[in-house]
């Protein structure tokens, strides 16, 4: 992308709403940035009549919209539909447009499980963890027999989203299933981390032994968990007196 530029084409009077993220976009440059970074979130709710009306009414991109609408009518893919917009905006370099189209092609050729997995990843990147968990569950349901590597990745990423929601026990189960399908050091470490957060310490050690985790990995995980701990706050002996002191200090600073 050609540097950071808020808007070359101007700012809209009304934003274009992205329902999946709950955000509004105010310029064509913002729109291009969203599209480029989140190809998995591009669907009919984004690319359709509401988008072409917005581009026409807010930015008078009539000729660009005509080409886009012709592609839509002919059943073209998202890459072909959006290409005139990218070219008119001048926001992406040619190699970035090619990269964007290649990612769309990869998604299309991967079938529903990969598309849903990538959508979940995009939602998680945008901190929509609850929505991501739901999409990962759909991706799991759509995986076919033999797609072990993809299923392991879906389960692992679902565990990550659950961790962000503080659902440590569910995250542990997801990580453990992912590890059973594809045993890697990262999956093992994340299993241990979720176990350390979800279970009593003695059970954690049992899980670590079952996973055949080394001492160094166990120490690293426990150090990470201990760094999350908040030191306990000791309440003042005379709480009423302490509240009066705080109030007096406030009035003093406020000039009362």
199-252: pLDDT as tens digits = 999 999 999 999 999 999 999 999 988 887 655 556 666 666 656 666 666 555
Give residue-wise pLDDT tens across range 58-91. 999 999 999 999 999 999 999 999 999 999 999 8
Alpha-carbon distance of 5 to 28, in angstroms, equals 11
- Strand-pair category, 16-18 with 23-25: antiparallel
Q: Which of 113, 129, 89 is nearest to 40 (CA)?
A: 113
Using CA atoms, how far apart are residues 91 and 103, in angstroms rounded to an integer? 18
Q: Are 229 and 197 in contact (CB under 8 A)?
A: no
130: Cα separation from own chain's centroid: 10
Residue of 91 and 3 predicted with greater confidence: 91
> 117: Cβ–Cβ under 8 A, 6 or more apart, which residues?
136, 139, 150, 153, 154, 157
């Amino acid at each position: 992308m050609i540097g950071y530029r808020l808007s070359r084409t101007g700012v809209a009077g009304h934003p274009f709403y992205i329902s999946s993220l709950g955000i509004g976009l105010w310029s064509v440059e913002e729109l291009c940035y969203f599209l480029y970074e989140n190809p998995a979130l591009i669907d009919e709710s984004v690319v359709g009549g509401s988008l072409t009306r917005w581009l026409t009414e807010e930015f008078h991109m009539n000729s660009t919209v005509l080409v886009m609408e012709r592609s839509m009518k002919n059943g073209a893919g998202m890459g072909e539909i959006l290409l005139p917009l990218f070219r008119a905006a001048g926001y992406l370099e040619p190699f970035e447009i090619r990269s964007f189209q290649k990612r769309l092609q990869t998604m299309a050729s991967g079938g529903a499980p990969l598309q849903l997995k990538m959508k979940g990843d995009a939602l998680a990147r945008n901190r929509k963890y609850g929505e991501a968990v739901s999409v990962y569950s759909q991706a799991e349901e759509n995986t076919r027999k033999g797609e072990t590597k993809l299923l392991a990745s879906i389960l692992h990423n679902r565990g990550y989203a659950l961790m962000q929601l503080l659902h440590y026990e569910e995250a542990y189960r997801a990580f453990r299933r992912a590890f059973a399908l594809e045993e890697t050091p990262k999956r093992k470490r994340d299993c241990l981390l979720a176990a350390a957060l979800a279970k009593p310490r003695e059970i954690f050690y049992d899980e670590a032994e079952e996973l055949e985790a080394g001492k160094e990995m166990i120490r690293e995980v426990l150090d990470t968990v201990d760094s999350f701990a908040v030191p306990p706050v000791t309440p003042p002996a005379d709480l009423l007196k302490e509240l009066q002191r705080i109030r007096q200090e406030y009035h003093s600073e406020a000039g009362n």
